[in-house]
Structure 1
């Protein structure tokens, strides 16, 4: 059986793709998998690292305003669809599963033209354009959150790698702390704005760093690949707590294991992973776009597993106050963790993989030829 998985741009698209690919490999040993992305996305790094062959199509971004770039979209889309069709034929695909992003639309359209079964997975509460279009002709549509308004959507959760869902944070904490140069006996704040970083979060933490360290709170700060500079160095405070800045973490399980509290954006992947792990969070939704990040956070915040901070309110003073209140109160953190864990399913990888296998039609090319 041959499955083509399309999705890219950010970790929000690539992480569920990789998790689903892992579930397919566990379920059907020897299955042929091909990932499709663009040269602009994180997929050029993380997909090959996950052991998946990666094929590229030209990106077709949709401009937010009318103009010359918008006029070029139809021609670019035709070229991308043509390349996507070549990839599907070369892979002898039996089924396509898409996770959104620039790459998804041409792959969906190419699959439809070849009469291939299609499974769509939408990560956010507010669906993206490619998945909205594909949901109209897909065989199955899966969504991460129960209130996602997508035609035919089945609530299954967000596929997360087994290295995350099966993580024993307490058992791994000491080893993870040593890797990062942190003290496992001290409360630790994990800070991350996603794979690209978040300027407002980074700025607020820089301003709050001294006060938090003085309270004995360690900080693991994932700044983002493009944001770290030579000035970002480890700080060991006289309190015994340390500030450890890193550009990127390849194995987030280690970062989660060392953390007692997380300060982060509320992309679907982060919301689901912290929820499944029972890791209390302070969510700072991205203020741009269509508001999907705030809506992603709603279920966990409503359950008491996280708190919401508006981007405009993400100041050093706010971060100092909230982190100090929570990180130094183990009872509150425990209650928040239990609440977070009750919200979202942790087996979405297997559910989506089963959807893919249910609709796959091996031998479709031979049937079409006859």
Structure 2
């Protein structure tokens, strides 16, 4: 190729950005010019816009709401405007290929790619495709899946199972440094609590309600989401963060057990790092049910205990946590038997194939 120009897209949640974050350093090292199309105010802008060597382009985008709102009637016009903006960006950047991680910002980008004749590849993390990827699939040349079961839900002529893309820096954490950062000791095992990029109020409440019981035997790193800190809650062995960035590899290295939502990218990262999990997936009332399927798959393979949100109470939370502690040794054995593909290399390989 005379030039190597790529447009990345994806956003709405951190999960729709993490794979892009994993491949950006490799693309930069290989000499690609990188543009990123995201929303004006989404989390992807916070995570991507300041990366050196990546040009961020905000566009108008719609959103799926599971409730009645006047905004639902405005969204088709936002998507049309996003397509128009995408076409302008693609005329200017003239990319060889587009890589999409999903989220509603990706829909106008994939439509624009088809209109401009730019080949596109989609990555689907969840066990079943989300609505945004379903809408975008007809405009893509290739669709890559994290779960092998996902292939049953994808067009056979486009689909390929590659496994989970894991950010390489997560394997470089230092346990002692992580303990030092969090102000914790080697005396007790460490539990990391994560509620996703936006936090999870019910998980936060359950952890804090049972904090005295939890800290008798464990130390807690609590990533509670933006605006969810409890400044008055100061306790030895308990550290709160709204969000964790560059410290995450070290904090994960210090972590023995995880309590988390069941977003696919996050739980596959915990699996790769062999962190036994208690998963509390988003309910059907709050989502399309993808996390329920993800959690069930991990529970079936012996990687996790599952607590359904409708059953979440302080006492049942403690009961399920104790089950996690008791099952953690067997979970680690199961995790050691997990055969992980080099999904990152396979993504880069598909990008090169389409670009040529």
Q: Which residue of 2 aligns with 1:365?
A: none
Q: Which residue of 1 aligns with 2:49?
A: 48
Q: d(CA) in 2 for partners of 1:9 and 1:301?
A: 27
Distance of aligned partners of 1:325 and 1:64 in 2 relative to their CA distance in 1, 3 Å threshold: closer
The reply to whether residue 353 of structure 1 matches residue 356 of structure 2 is no
- C-alpha deviations, 1:172-216, integer Å up to 9, x for none? 2111101110112311111010111001110110111001112x3
Q: Which residue of 2 aligns with 1:122?
A: 124
Q: d(CA) in 1 for partners of 2:211 and 2:143?
A: 44
Give 2:20's match in structure 1, choosing from 17, 21, 33.
Answer: 17
Give 2:281's match in structure 1, choosing from 252, 266, 285.
Answer: 285
Deviates more, 1:58-67 or 1:251-260: 58-67
Q: TM-score, normalised by structure 1?
A: 0.88
Distance of aligned partners of 1:54 and 1:184 in 2 relative to their CA distance in 1, 3 Å threshold: farther
The reply to whether residue 72 of structure 1 matches residue 74 of structure 2 is yes
Q: TM-score, normalised by structure 2?
A: 0.91
Distance of aligned partners of 1:224 and 1:71 in 2 relative to their CA distance in 1, 3 Å threshold: closer
Show structure 1 runs of 5+ residues with no match.
237-241, 362-370
> Are the counterparts in 1 of residues 62 and 76 from structure 2 also a CA contact under 8 Å?
no
Q: Which residue of 1 aligns with 2:175?
A: 173
**After the TM superposition, which residues 131-280 of structure 1 pair with which residues of structure 2 at under 5 Å, given as runs?**
131-148=133-150, 149-151=153-155, 152-164=158-170, 166-167=171-172, 172-214=174-216, 216-232=217-233, 234-236=234-236, 242-251=237-246, 252-280=248-276
Deviates more, 1:264-273 or 1:131-140: 131-140
- C-alpha deviations, 1:90-109, integer Å up to 9, x for none? 22211111111121000001
Deviates more, 1:88-97 or 1:63-72: 63-72
**Deviation, structure 1 residue 33:** 0.8
> Are the counterparts in 2 of residues 275 and 344 from structure 1 also a CA contact under 8 Å?
no
Q: Which residue of 2 aligns with 1:336?
A: 331
Q: d(CA) in 2 for partners of 1:295 and 1:244?
A: 31
**Deviation, structure 1 residue 79:** 0.7
CA RMSD, 1 decimal: 1.9
Show structure 2 runs of 5+ residues with no match.
none
Distance of aligned partners of 1:158 and 1:35 in 2 relative to their CA distance in 1, 3 Å threshold: farther
- Superposition misfits of 4+ residues, deviation over 6 angstroms: none
Q: d(CA) in 1 for partners of 2:341 and 2:244?
A: 22
Q: Secondary structure of 2:227's match?
A: coil
Q: d(CA) in 2 for partners of 1:72 and 1:322?
A: 43
Q: d(CA) in 1 for partners of 2:214 and 2:310?
A: 21
Q: d(CA) in 2 for partners of 1:54 and 1:341?
A: 39
Q: Which residue of 2 aligns with 1:34?
A: 35
**Deviation, structure 1 residue 346:** 5.1
Q: d(CA) in 2 for partners of 1:339 and 1:90?
A: 49
Distance of aligned partners of 1:147 and 1:326 in 2 relative to their CA distance in 1, 3 Å threshold: closer
Higher relative contact order (CA 8 A, sep 6+): 1
